[in-house]
Each structure stands twice: as structure tokens, then as C-alpha cells.
A and B are shown apart, each in its own frame.
Chain A
Amino acid sequence: MALFITKRLLMALATVLVVAVLAFLLVHAMPGSPGAVSLGAGASREAIDEVNGRLGWNDPLLSQFFRWLGDAVQGNLGTSLIDGRSVSADLGNRLPVTASLAAGATVLSAILGIGLGVSAAVRGGLVDRIVGGICGLAVALPAFWIGIIFVYLFAVQSSVFPATGYVPFEVSPQDWGMSLALPVITLAVGGAAFIARQTRASMLEALQQEHIRTLRATATPTWKILYIHALRYASLPIVAGIALQFIGLFGGSVIAEQLFAMPGLGQAVQTSVSTHDAPAVQGVVVIATVVVVAVNLVLELATKFLDPKLRAS
């Protein structure tokens, strides 16, 4: 187990490193130099060269990368070319927004998805067909479209939830929850449908296992067979599905943040890409990767812990 964890940790580190290189190269392939971007249109050639020289833009790529990496390891991701703010500090403020959004959407997806998937598998018949239909529709509808419809229904028609904006948890936990409600529900629609399908398939597979017959032969009550034994057997692929979904929802938050005007990482990616703010793009890609890889690692370890075969070895 220790060996397994070490291997996975190294793998995660390698992943982040690969992405860091990738982000670095992409940023260097962006049109325009940092000087041109930060000084804006109409800046003189000399002024631009001066800024580029100060930022070390013309140094060999390798030494630029290692300088960036050295700073990044110490928590310094450089400063924005647009407003001169520290990228680390800015992303540090934004991370809680996206984290609440993605975590909330993942948890809600898991609860809804497992509930729907289990009832579809267990009840069969009409319930199964209805859940299947809902899931099919939910997967086909784009999240941004669903989000706008929710805004129309819950913010325009009846002002149950605020249409846009984000209230930090420290300011008011209640308003924080209210401000997250619509974006979280929006993202959870597709996520829940995905997890419901995964759950349904895994439950059906679990119920096809021969040990279910043994349990029935020893008079195990049906609820116990379903919710203790079959669900336990199905839990491995379900947790794997949730891990996968978290990555998707983390990416999906780019759209949710845009739609609901939330100051999260997604908004930062969108703005920095539009403005060619190289250090910001580089920083946000790496931070997003670290978060996603870390959460994946935790969920993967959870999967291994759920499997007696792997736990024992």
C-alpha cells in the first residue's frame, strides 16, 4: 500500500510537471511579447524591448522555465501583465470560489446520481425508463443553456436565488450558500446524469453476481442485499465515476462562473486568455492541474481502500 501511494504521488508530481512545461510552451507561443501586452497598443519599440528584457523574455527558454519553476515552488507565480497584481495572490482569492462550486456540484451530482441510478436499477420497469429518459436529456442539454433557464425560472420569474454574484463564506455563510445554489445546480444536472448511468450499470452488474443468490439463500432481507451488499460491490466504479466527474465539473465551472459572474479560476482563465496575460494563464493552468490531480489522487486512494483485494496487498 505504501509503495502504491508513493508511486501515485510520483505520478501526480510528474503530471503537474508535464502540464507546467506545456503551459510554459503555450504561453510562449502566444502572439505578442509580455512587453507589448503590458504596455498596450501604441507603446514604443524601445519601451517594449525594455520590459521584455527586464522580464528575461529573451533568455534561453530552459533558463526561463527553471526560473519560473523555482519561483513557483516557493509560491510565486509572477505578476499579471495587465494590472501588475501577484498571480498567486489573485488565484488564492479565486480558488475558494471555484473549489466551492466544483465540490458542491460534485457532491450534489453524487447524491442525486446515486439515488437515481440505484432506484432505476432496483425498481426497473417504468422508473428505470423515466430515469433513463431524464438522464439522456440532461446529458444532451448544454450546461450554459440549463443555467440560463434556471436564472429565468428562479431569479427572474421568482427571486428565490440571486441571479449572479458570489458572497464569500466568511462574509455570510447563508448568502454564500444562496449565491452558490444556481451555479451548483446548473453544473450538477449533467454530472448527476452521468453518475446515475454509472450507478445503474454498476448496480445491475452487482445484482448479477452469484453471491447475491447466496445472500438470498440465507434469508438476507432485500433492503440489506441492495443497500449494503450490492451497493458496496458497485461502489468501486461509482467512486471512480465521481472522480472523473470532478474533473469535468472543475472545467465546467469556467462556464458557470462566466454565466453567474463569479470571481473564480474559470473567469481568470477566460480573462487572461483573452488579454494574453502570460503569467496569469500559466499560473491558472498549473493551479487547476494541481487541484484536479490532488482530488483525483484522494478519490483513487479511496477506491483502493474500498476494494479488499487491493487493501490487503
Chain B
Amino acid sequence: MIPNVAPAPADSAPATAAAAVQPKSGQRAAFSKISASRLFASPGGVAGVVWLAALVVASLTAQWWLPYKTEDQDFTAVLSGPTAAHWLGTDELGRDLLSRIFAAAAGTLGTSLITVIVGVVLGTALAMVAAGRGQTEGGISRVTEVMMSLPGTVIILAVIGAVGTNIPLIMAILGVLISAGIYRVMLGQAKSLQSQLYVDAAKVDGVSTLGISLRHVLPGLTNTIVVQSALIFAVGMLIQAGLAFIGFGPPIPQPSWGGMIQGASQHVYDAPWLMVPTGAVLALTVLAANAIGNALGKAPNTGVSHLPSAAARRQRSVAAGAAASVAEAGAIPAKGHLSVRGLSVGVDGGTPLVTDVSFDVGPGTVLGLVGESGCGKTMTALSLLGLLPAGVSATGGQILWNGKNLAAATEREMEGIRGRDIALISQEPMRALDPMFTVGYQLTAAIRRLRKVGKAEAHAEALSLLEKVGIVDAKRILKTYPHQISGGMAQRVAIALALSGRPRLLVADEPTTALDVTVQAEILSLLRSLVKDTGMSVVMVTHDLGVVADICDNVAVMYAGQVVESGRTANILDNPRHPYTLALLAADPHANTAADMPERLATISGQVPQPKDWPTGCRFMARCQFAGSACAAPVPLLPSGSEDGLVRCVKADELAVEGLEWLATEVPTHRVLKIVEKDLA
């Protein structure tokens, strides 16, 4: 019964999951200080606080309001159910259950608190020491591991043999045993708090290890401390009741919850009611403590599932059915032609993330989707495969692929498209491959599924695919696990995986961003040769204009969920029309040749606005050097004049006529001087 306390998986575990996916935001959220609002936002938390408070008050004031003394015996009502005289009934000696339950409450709660205090203080202190002085961590962790692998109950009983039923002492020793589990929970958090930059800064400033622990680490742990205290409190009560149940409770006439349940168990044949009141009060108290712990420990929902739940998938099918009738209106398309028309993507029932995006990708061509982070490129790309994260969906428009509207397709229809027609390669190849299976398993499974071939044939095909993506020792790579190969190699494997269904369109979500510069060039040239050899088309998501210049035939520049300019790559790079495109080019060190490299690269002041802050007019207006009053009205996407180019700017023509350029903003000189002077002083 003891180890139920060990690193509580309860509801707090996803915090670590979130931290793994989004290291920065997830971690910060986990360190949030204790928040009363979070406690009171949860109905369970409120109920828990109310019950515990009522129980404490009732037990402390018991002597004034209890109808009977704990030892009063009413022989006219032995083993009675609830009556007017005995609200919760009586036991085998006619003693009033209500009085005995509340008389026992104070002792139970108080001694459980001893376990909490000893366990949490010891566990937290050990964690802070281990985190503060790295060399002690190994030893402390080893000792706690040993403590956690002990049969705690048996040891506690042996202790009782030595010290007798001295409940406070036993509960304190229980606290020591439990502190190992608390240490494990606290250590991870204390360590990441120790590695924060402000802690490094404090160290440089000469703050002592103890000072850092108390001033910077402990405050960050408060929420976890409260959560663990609540959970341990519950465990303490259960163990104490369990001990009393097997006869190691307070001395006999004194009531205890476990002892009362033990007494009741003797009468389960003739008076089953006797079980109910004590069991219910004990269970409610444990529930209350757990509810408080869970309400405070609930991690903010940061991680996003890549597989919508069954309920969400059903909803999608229903929505798709409703939208399907609209879809048929498209023009007759060429085979392998992607045509996105007025696509909108948004959080379910809330903010739009992408609005009114249109572009075309012809067979054998490469389209670049370019823009800063957070402008909706990845969401647009994922919607082509119906792989938007849970809670996000296409809210309007059409994705026409071979005449079929994928935006309105059901999950089952998309399963027929994915891999076979449209494939995906993503930003971080290491995380895109399943760490639990070999490269060979993943590749052959995909080939067998997508090409309907046998095992041997799939194996041969896997080898030839790996060779095709430039892997020399394909045989060896097939046997490796993803963690055994380099990032560049993993991306080649991921590309081979994407090719396993002979797709006509490849969606590449920043395929080179996470790779070394030399490897980037290799992967790009691999993609280029694949396009040439197989005739497939590519939608390339990137923020790198160099990649665009290198591989893309056409470009769509995205800003704040919209396409602001699109057209042939050469036209856009040589003759940009939208101020945002101008700014991106001016800010790119590679876009300027050595001869005309400016002294200072341009910057774009401010940030991409959050979707909820998008204005009705031009979304770039707030950051634009050329913005005027006309920009406040909604701006349509209009032909830019060069071939099939389009631009979304009311001033595009004016800018083109006047030949204006995005200028590097001057850094005010007085500011530069000030810093220098201060440093010298």
C-alpha cells in the first residue's frame, strides 16, 4: 500500500510530456507558483477544500456539539441503522457512530500531517541538495532507489514491533520511507530550476548554493510541494487506517477509523450498514485530499496529440459529409495537379490561423511557402494531408487534388491519399522516426502497406529506396534504430519513407532547418534530383529565401495567415512587389551580393501579430515602412502585372513606379554611446 505515492502519475504526468515537446513553454508552465485560482477553478478542488475544512472544524469543536461521548453505550440500540437518536447508527456496543467518527478525525488528520511534513520536507531538502551540488546526486539517488524498492509495509510493521503502536513516531518513520518518492518527483524540477539562466547569473554574482536553493529553487517548487503534500496526506490516512485495521492502531477504547472498520467487518453478516459511515467518511477525506492535489497539479494543456481522439475523428467525418456537396464545383483538373482555393484553417470554435489561402502546384514543379515563424505555413502544409493537430481543422475553402476536395474528405478517404498520393517529410527527422522500431521495419511496413507487395519484395525495395536517397551502406542502415544514425542520415531515411508509396506530391515542412549547413545542401540537391527523376511536385515550407532560390519554381509569401504575394520565383526575388517581400529580401544576408552588401542589414520592427490581433485591413500595416491610411481597409490579392503573379498591397503599383526599397533603420547614435560610457564607468 505504500508505493502508491511514488512519482504520482495522476494528472500531473503530461507536464513532462509537454516539456519534451515544447521545452521552453512546457517547463515554465510546470514551475508556476501555487495558484489559488487554479484550485478554485476546479469543482473537485473546491469540494475537497470545503470537506477538509468542515472536517477539521467539526473535529476540533467535537466536544461541544457531539451528541454522545465516544464510550457511551446505548444497549437499547445495539447495531442499529440510522435513527433520530443515532444519525449514523450504532456499533455492537451501542456506541454512537457519528460521535466516534468525529472524535477519531482529529487524531487521524493530525498524525497523517506528521507523515506529510517529514516526507515532504526531507524529500524536498534532498532534492535541493542533489540539484545544488551535482556530486551528491548520484549517492542520494541511489539511496532513494533502494528505499523505494523496499517492502515498506513489512518494514513499518517491524518498526511497530520495536517501538510499539506509537502512532506519531510510526507516521514520522513512514514519512522517511515516503520521502524517497517525493525526492524523485522534486529532483527533475529542482534540476531544471538550477539550470535556469537567472540561477547562473546569481552564481556569478556570488550568491551561495544555499542562498540559490532557498531564494530561486524553493519558490519554484511550491506548487509541487503543495500537490505532493495533499497526495501524501491521503496516503498517510489510508496507511494509518490500514494499520489500525490489522490491530496496530491507537489503544483499544480510543476510536480510530481503521479500527472501527475492523469492528464493522466482524458484523458484515448481521449488520452490513456498520461498514458504510466510517468507510464513507474515510473515502471522502482521501478523495478530498486527492482532489486538491489533482486540481493544483493539473498541468496546463500544452502538448498536442498527433492523432485526434476517436470522438474528434467522428466529428470530422460528420463535418466532411456536410461540406462535401460544396466541393464538386471545381474545374476539371490535370492529373497530379494541386489547387488550393480560399483555404481557411482555424482552432475549433475559435481563432483562425490561416485565411483565404490560394495557390496551384502543377506536376513536377516546386512551390515554396515562405514566411516568418507563426505565419501559418506549416498549418497550410499539414492541411494538404489532413494531418492538422488535434483541435485544429480546415474551416473553409477547397484543397482540390485530382478533382477531389481534400478539405472535405473523411479520415478514411484521407488514409487512401496519404503516402500514396501525397507524402510528408518534416523538420526534425530524428523525431519523425519511431524510436522503438528499426529503420528497416518502418520502411518495409510502409512499402508493404502502400505498394501491396510481399515481405521479400518490400525488403528489396527498401534497399533500393535507401540507395536512391544516397545512402551507401543501406543494408546496415536497415538494421539500425533511429537514435543510431545522424540527423542528415535520418532525413534521408525519412525521405525514403515518404517515397515508399510513390507519391505525386511531396509536402516538405522545413526539411533542412534542423540540419548542418553542409547536409542542408545535400538534402536539397537530393530533392531536386528526385523531382527531376520522378516528376513529382513539392510544396516546400521554408523561411530560407536561399532554399527558395535554389529549388522552387514558384513562391507564395505568407504573412499572418495570408498569402501576400505569389508568382514565379525569379520574378519575386528579382522584382518583389509587396513591402513584406521587400523587407524579407533586404533582411537576408545571402540575398545581397558582396558588391552591394549594405553596411547595415534591414530589420522588420515588431513581431508577427497573434491571430486574435489581426486587423481587418492589411495585416502588415503596423510594421510597414510605407503604410498609409488606405491600408486600413481589407486588401484583395490582385495581379501584380508580371506573368501570373499576385500581390496583396494597395500601394504595390505606387511602390513599383517610385522604385522604393525597404530601408535599414538607423540605430540612434546616442543610445550606442550611452552603453559604452556606462560600461567604462
Contacts and interface: CB of A to CB of B under 8 A. Distances in A.
Contact of B306 (A140, A149, A198, A212): A212
A201 B581 CA distance: 44
Nearest to A253: B153
Nearest to B275: A148
A213 B152 contact: no
Contacts of B269: 156
Contact-residue size bin, chain A (C-beta under 8 Å from the other chain): 35 or more
A219 B415 contact: yes
Given A258-B246, A312-B481, A252 B153 contact: yes
A254 to B, nearest CB: 5
B303 A211 contact: no
Which of B1, B148, B154, B450: most chain A Cβ within 10 A?
B154
A265 B158 CA distance: 13
B14 to A, nearest CB: 6
A127 B155 CA distance: 39
A230 B436 CA distance: 10
B161 A15 contact: no
B268 A151 contact: yes
B287 A217 contact: no
Contacts of B272: 152, 156
Interface stretch (B204-212, B416-424, B642-650): B416-424
Given A122-B309, A124-B311, A208-B21, A308 B153 contact: no
* From A14, A149, A244, A259, residue with most partner B Cβ within 10 Å: A244
Contact of A210 (B290, B428, B438, B501): B428
A149 B276 CA distance: 10
Q: In this complex, which of A214, A216, A259 has the most chain B Cβ atoms within 10 angstroms of its Cβ? A: A214
Contacts of B146: 11, 14-15, 18
Given A208-B17, A244-B3, A214 B449 contact: no
A252 B21 CA distance: 37
A151 B199 CA distance: 57
Given A144-B261, A207-B307, A248-B2, A218 B501 contact: yes
A255 B245 contact: yes
Contacts of A31: 164
Nearest to A19: B150
Given A220-B449, A229-B434, A284 B154 contact: yes
A204 B17 contact: yes
Contacts of A254: 153-154, 157, 246
Contact of B283 (A19, A141, A152, A233): A141
Contacts of B69: none
B156 to A, nearest CB: 8
A142 B241 contact: yes
A252 B245 CA distance: 12
B605 interface: no
A213 B387 contact: yes
A245 B33 CA distance: 31
A233 B435 contact: yes
Interface in A123-173: 123-126, 136-137, 139-145, 148-149, 151-152, 156
Given A15-B146, A190-B4, A233-B436, A226 B265 contact: no
Contacts of B283: 137, 140-142, 145
A173 B247 CA distance: 32
A26 B287 contact: no
Interface in B219-253: 234, 238, 241-242, 245-248
B625 interface: no
Contacts of A288: 151, 154
Interface stretch (B79-87, B492-500, B659-667): B492-500
B279 interface: yes
A222 interface: yes
Contacts of B438: 308
B149 A201 contact: no
B484 A312 contact: yes
A232 B497 CA distance: 20
A150 B258 CA distance: 17
Interface stretch (A40-48, A62-70, A75-83, A266-274): A266-274
Contacts of A151: 265, 268
Interface stretch (A53-61, A174-182, A289-297): A289-297
B242 A308 contact: no
Contacts of B408: none
A123 B268 contact: no
B293 to A, nearest CB: 11
B434 A214 contact: yes
A29 B4 contact: no
Nearest to A273: B161
Nearest to A102: B151
Given A136-B287, A139-B290, A270-B247, A201 B13 contact: yes
B150 A292 contact: yes
B431 A209 contact: yes
B423 A218 contact: yes
A273 B160 contact: yes
A137 B498 CA distance: 46
A197 B9 contact: yes
A216 B386 CA distance: 10
Interface string A236-251: 0100010011011011
Given A198-B9, A254-B157, A288-B154, A233 B434 contact: yes
A259 B245 CA distance: 9
A140 B282 CA distance: 8
A252 B163 CA distance: 22
A214 B2 contact: no
B10 interface: yes
Given A139-B4, A218-B500, A247-B149, A124 B154 contact: no
Contacts of B387: 213, 216-217
Given A145-B283, A219-B449, A255 B309 contact: no
Contacts of B154: 251, 254, 265, 269, 284-285, 288-289
B242 A144 contact: yes
B41 interface: no
Given A152-B272, A211-B432, A213-B387, A308 B9 contact: no
Contacts of A225: 307
B268 A156 contact: yes
A157 to B, nearest CB: 9
Interface string B429-447: 0011111111000000110
Contacts of A269: 154, 157-158
Nearest to B289: A140
B49 interface: no
A251 B304 contact: no
B13 A208 contact: no
B71 to A, nearest CB: 24
A298 to B, nearest CB: 12
Nearest to B497: A218
B246 A210 contact: no
A241 B20 CA distance: 20
Nearest to A208: B303
A213 B290 CA distance: 35
Closest 8 CB pairs of A and B: A251-B153, A124-B309, A205-B17, A201-B13, A217-B424, A273-B161, A29-B162, A212-B306
Given A218-B446, A233-B435, 16 more contacts: A26-B158, A122-B309, A140-B290, A144-B265, A145-B275, A145-B279, A198-B9, A198-B13, A208-B21, A218-B498, A230-B307, A241-B9, A250-B151, A255-B1, A270-B247, A273-B157
18 contacts: A15-B146, A26-B158, A124-B311, A139-B286, A139-B290, A140-B283, A141-B279, A144-B242, A145-B283, A149-B279, A197-B9, A201-B17, A213-B432, A218-B450, A248-B2, A250-B153, A258-B245, A308-B483
Interface of B: 1-4, 6, 9-11, 13-14, 16-18, 20-21, 142, 145-146, 148-155, 157-164, 234, 238, 241-242, 245-248, 258, 261-262, 264-265, 268-269, 272, 275, 279, 282-284, 286-287, 290-291, 294, 303-307, 309-313, 385, 387, 415-416, 418-420, 423-424, 426, 428, 431-438, 445-446, 449-450, 481, 483-484, 494, 497-498, 500-501
